[in-house]
Each structure stands twice: as structure tokens, then as C-alpha cells.
């Protein structure tokens, strides 16, 4: 049978190892969002064609929108610094577009966060075309010959209703993201 001092020493070692493991896991969890920040998408959901962005919504995303789930597209502009495999954003600007479907009129409303009335569209194609053109016009505003900005347009999964987030993170249908890119606008 072990005496009390020996058991106390074992408990201290175990709790010390436990704390070290928790710290290591905490550090890894802190680095995960930074790694995900720079990951590109598969490139099929948003394409750059003839100087314009084209946003293709999957059937699952379109169905959710038509059934009352608001979608928020976030457009981010940043100067980037690459360290090893991770691109770190420095100076960042953000604009968001919230898209909702009005069932009675069968119209799509786009709010850009300003106090102005939302823009109204009759189809998802027209709605996505507007969001893409606004994203590129903001890019033209920020980008200059002295400072080269990168842009990322993505569907914000964090702004989805709680029960939908987990499945949205796990399926490719909800992965609507350009990754950090630089374009020349045709506007």
C-alpha cells in the first residue's frame, strides 16, 4: 500500500500533465481559426468571369433562402502578409449584405447595413449579381497603385440560425467563398 506522500506526488504530476495538455489544446484551438482564415474554397461557388464575379448558390442554399433563412454575404478587403503557409491579414475592411426572401411578394431584399431602404430583386440570379457587383465596386474603391488589396467574398455561416450552422460547416453546399484574391474589375 502506498503512503499519503507518494499518492500526493502522483496526483500533482497527473494534474500538471493535465494542465499542460489543456494548454496545448487551447493553443491549437486558438490557431485553428487563423489557419481557416487563409484556406481557399473549391472555387466553384464564386467564379470570376470577364471582369465580373458570378455567385452560384447550391440548391440547398437556395431552398433555405426561399424558406425564410436569411443569408449574409461578407466582403472583406485586406492587405496580406504571408508567413510560411498562412496569409495574415493586416489592414482589413468589411462590408456585409443580408439577403432575405419576402414570401408574399416573392421578392428578394438586400440590405447592406446602411439606413437606406433595401434593394429589391425578383430572382436569386439578379440578387447575386447585385451583391457581386457591389463587392467589386468596393474593391475598386480600396485598391490603389500604392497599396494592393486582396478581397474575399463569402457566405457567413456564423450568421445562420443556430440549428443550421453545424450542417452548414460540414457540407460543401454551404461553402461559398472566393478565398483571398486580387482582381481587375471591368467596371
Domain total in the chain: 2
Residues 7 and 75 in one domain: no
Residues 28 and 71 in one domain: no
pLDDT number for residue 35? 42
* 185 has a pLDDT exceeding 60: no
| Lowest mean per-residue pLDDT among 12-16, 51-55, 160-164, 169-173 | 12-16
Question: Torsion over CA of 140, 158, 27 and 94, rounded to 10 degrees?
Answer: 20
152 forms beta bridges with 76
* 183 has a pLDDT exceeding 70: no
- Structural domain including 59 reads 46-174
Strand segments (E) across the chain: 46-49, 52-55, 71-83, 86-102, 107-111, 119-121, 150-155
Residues 16 and 107 in one domain: no
- Which residue reads 439577403 in cell numbers? 99
Residue 111 lies in a domain: yes
pLDDT number for residue 20? 64
Residues 88 and 136 in one domain: yes
pLDDT number for residue 171? 87
Contact, 77 vs 149, CB < 8 A?
yes
pLDDT number for residue 184? 53
Amino acid at each position: 500500500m502506498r503512503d499519503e506522500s507518494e499518492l500526493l506526488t502522483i496526483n500533482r504530476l497527473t494534474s500538471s500533465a493535465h494542465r499542460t495538455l489543456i494548454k496545448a489544446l487551447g493553443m491549437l484551438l486558438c490557431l485553428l481559426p487563423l489557419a481557416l482564415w487563409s484556406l481557399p474554397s473549391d472555387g466553384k461557388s464564386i467564379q470570376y468571369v470577364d471582369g465580373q464575379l458570378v455567385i452560384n448558390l447550391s440548391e440547398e442554399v437556395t431552398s433555405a433562402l426561399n424558406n425564410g433563412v436569411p443569408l449574409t454575404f461578407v466582403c472583406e478587403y485586406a492587405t496580406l502578409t504571408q508567413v510560411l503557409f498562412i496569409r495574415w491579414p493586416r489592414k482589413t475592411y468589411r462590408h456585409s449584405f443580408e439577403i432575405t426572401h419576402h414570401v408574399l411578394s416573392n421578392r428578394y431584399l438586400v440590405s447592406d447595413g446602411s439606413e437606406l431602404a433595401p434593394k429589391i430583386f425578383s430572382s436569386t440570379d439578379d440578387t447575386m449579381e447585385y451583391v457581386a457587383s457591389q463587392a467589386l465596386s468596393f474593391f475598386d474603391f480600396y485598391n490603389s497603385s500604392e497599396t494592393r488589396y486582396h478581397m474575399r467574398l463569402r457566405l457567413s455561416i456564423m450568421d445562420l440560425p443556430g440549428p443550421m450552422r453545424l450542417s452548414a460547416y460540414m457540407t460543401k453546399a454551404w461553402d461559398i467563398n472566393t478565398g483571398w484574391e486580387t482582381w481587375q474589375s471591368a467596371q
